[in-house]
């Protein structure tokens, strides 16, 4: 049957719906990678968003048990051109369609995704509704505190390595945890609302995770974050990068339509190296606002010059807007974890136990 994607500016796109669903509302964003749909759907940073996949054929390697970034799909809905049921991959055990249906995630196929992206590109990110009717009206609400919906409720510890990292959870991706475990860390995942417990845990370092929505929703926590960073070597990833900037007095703004894909070139201003990164963000640190902070610009986006990473001038605090854990995407940036653990955390150990 027919289904519709109705944008808040009144534009309507037609598609095909397999089953009738109650209308869902979300922020309409597009992901440009050719692969990675399983990771995208389950990345908690996509909470409350309707994702348009720009690659025209999605689902051809199915869904497997390893590549989930969290326990369930986090997106509000999915817009595709072709959703194939014929999948082939040695790890796959079900089709993408079965997976979306099992979790009641509405999707529309046969949509002219190029036209949708052009609309977002010229108008900027918009809210939209997936519905069987051509109506924007919907009972569905967007959360004003999506981090609360995706963060863990209790502290949980993984691994038994010698280096203990507190991963502050704003909706962390499993591959951030895995990147730390793979490097021999013991990792305590600390829900954001218990971040002051890090002072009791006394880790060797802190990682501030990715997470959904506007980083300013965390404003009540900026002073605690600031205190933590004065005491522990810190790495911020994506939302974590934005929170670091805000906690030191910088500002964030919203990009017109965000960076979501697996091929965003970034330049390291220190070394001149360019590498390709995986990205998923709408907000960005305001470069000018860094002037009044103790933070220095380390990485910038080659395409639009936006801020991609920071370093504190004195403290052992570093952050990146891109995703060094990749998943999906190239692993060019995995050196970020090594740099943090080998340089920042190793050097910070004595200080923690002094």
Ligand X SMILES: NC(=O)CC[C@H](N)C(=O)O
Binding residues for L-glutamine: 45, 211, 213, 239, 242, 280, 283
Q: Which one of residues 15, 23, 159, 213 is an interface residue with ligand X (CB under 6 A)?
A: 213
Which residue out of 27, 164, 325, 327 is catalytically annotated?
A: 325
Is 323 labeled as catalytic in the residue annotation? yes
Residue 327 is encoded by which pair of tokens? 């998943």
- Smaller CB distance to ligand X: residue 195 or 239? 239
Per-residue CA distances from 145 to 27, 213, 218, 344 (Å):
14, 7, 9, 32
Query: d(Cα 269, Cα 309) in Å, to the nearest integer?
Result: 10
Q: Which one of residues 25, 76, 164, 281 is an interface residue with ligand X (CB under 6 A)?
A: 281
271-287 CB burial, b ≥16 within 10 A, e <16:
eeeebbbbbbbbbbbee
Annotated binding site: 45, 211, 213, 239, 242, 280, 283
- Minimum CB separation of residue 342 from ligand X in Å reads 24
DSSP strand pairing (82-83 vs 12-16): unpaired
DSSP class of 232: S
Cα 208 vs. chain centroid, distance in angstroms?
Answer: 12
Q: Is 236 in the site for ligand X (CB under 6 A)?
A: no
What is the side-by-side order of every strand in the sheet holding 24-31?
12-16, 2-7, 126-131, 24-31, 49-53, 77-79, 107-108
- Structural contact between residues 16 and 3, judged by C-beta atoms closer than 8 angstroms: yes
- Smaller CB distance to ligand X: residue 61 or 170? 170
| Contact region with ligand X (CB under 6 A), list: 126-134, 274-282, 290-298, 328-336 | 274-282
Per-residue CA distances from 123 to 11, 12, 255, 283, 317 (Å):
11, 14, 12, 16, 36
- Smaller CB distance to ligand X: residue 277 or 282? 282
- Minimum CB separation of residue 279 from ligand X in Å reads 8
- Structural contact between residues 197 and 190, judged by C-beta atoms closer than 8 angstroms: yes
Site string for ligand X, 282-311 (x = CB under 6 A): xx----------------------------
- Smaller CB distance to ligand X: residue 74 or 163? 74
User: Under 8 Å CB-to-CB from 315, ≥6 apart: which residues?
Assistant: 229, 230, 234, 294
Q: Which one of residues 6, 105, 229, 239 is an interface residue with ligand X (CB under 6 A)?
A: 239
Is 86 labeled as catalytic in the residue annotation? no
Query: d(Cα 249, Cα 289) in Å, to the nearest integer?
Result: 8
| Contact region with ligand X (CB under 6 A), list: 63-71, 128-136, 153-161, 210-218 | 210-218
Q: Which one of residues 212, 324, 329, 348 is an interface residue with ligand X (CB under 6 A)?
A: 212
How many residues form the binding site for ligand X (CB under 6 A)? 11
- Minimum CB separation of residue 307 from ligand X in Å reads 11
Q: How many CB atoms lie within 10 A of CB 346?
A: 14
The candidate with the shortest Cα–Cα distance to 217, out of 198, 237, 239, is 239
The candidate with the shortest Cα–Cα distance to 77, out of 103, 59, 95, is 103
DSSP strand pairing (307-312 vs 317-320): antiparallel
Site string for ligand X, 35-74 (x = CB under 6 A): ----------x-----------------------------
Which residue out of 238, 259, 308, 327 is catalytically annotated?
A: 238
Q: Which one of residues 60, 95, 163, 280 is an interface residue with ligand X (CB under 6 A)?
A: 280
Is 325 labeled as catalytic in the residue annotation? yes
- Minimum CB separation of residue 16 from ligand X in Å reads 29
Tell me which residues are annotated as active site: 238, 323, 325
Footprint on this chain of ligand X (rule: CB under 6 A) = 45, 210-213, 238-239, 280-283
């Amino acid at each position: 049957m027919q289904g519709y994607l109705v944008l808040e500016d009144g534009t309507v796109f037609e598609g095909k719906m397999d089953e009738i669903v109650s209308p869902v509302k979300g922020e309409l964003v597009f992901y440009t990678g050719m692969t990675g749909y399983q990771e995208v759907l389950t990345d908690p940073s996509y909470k409350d968003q309707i994702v348009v996949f720009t690659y025209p054929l999605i689902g051809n390697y199915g869904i497997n048990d390893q590549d989930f970034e969290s326990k369930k799909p986090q997106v509000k809905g999915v817009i595709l051109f072709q959703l194939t049921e014929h999948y082939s991959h040695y790890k796959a055990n079900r089709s993408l369609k079965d997976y979306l249906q099992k979790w009641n995630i509405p999707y529309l196929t046969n949509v002219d995704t190029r036209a949708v992206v052009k609309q977002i590109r010229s108008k900027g990110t918009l809210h939209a509704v997936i519905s069987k009717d051509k109506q924007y009206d919907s009972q569905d609400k967007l959360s004003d505190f999506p981090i609360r919906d995706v963060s863990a409720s209790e502290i949980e510890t993984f691994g038994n390595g010698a280096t203990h990292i507190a991963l502050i959870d704003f909706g962390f991706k499993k591959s951030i945890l895995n990147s730390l475990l793979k490097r021999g860390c013991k990792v305590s995942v600390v829900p954001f609302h218990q971040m002051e417990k890090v002072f009791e845990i006394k880790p060797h370092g802190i990682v501030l995770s990715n997470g959904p929505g506007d980083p300013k929703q965390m404003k009540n926590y900026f002073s605690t974050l600031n205190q933590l960073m004065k005491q522990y070597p810190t790495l911020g990833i994506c939302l974590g990068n934005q929170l670091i900037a805000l906690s030191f007095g910088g500002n964030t703004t919203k990009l017109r339509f965000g960076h979501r894909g697996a091929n965003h070139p970034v330049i390291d201003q220190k070394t001149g190296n360019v590498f390709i990164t995986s990205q998923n963000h709408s907000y960005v640190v305001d470069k000018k606002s860094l002037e009044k902070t103790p933070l220095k610009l380390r990485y910038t986006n080659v395409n639009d010059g936006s801020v991609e990473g920071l370093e504190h001038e004195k403290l052992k605090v570093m952050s990146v807007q891109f995703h060094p854990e990749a998943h999906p995407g190239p692993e060019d940036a995995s050196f970020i974890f090594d740099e943090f653990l080998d340089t920042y955390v190793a050097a910070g150990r004595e200080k923690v136990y002094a």
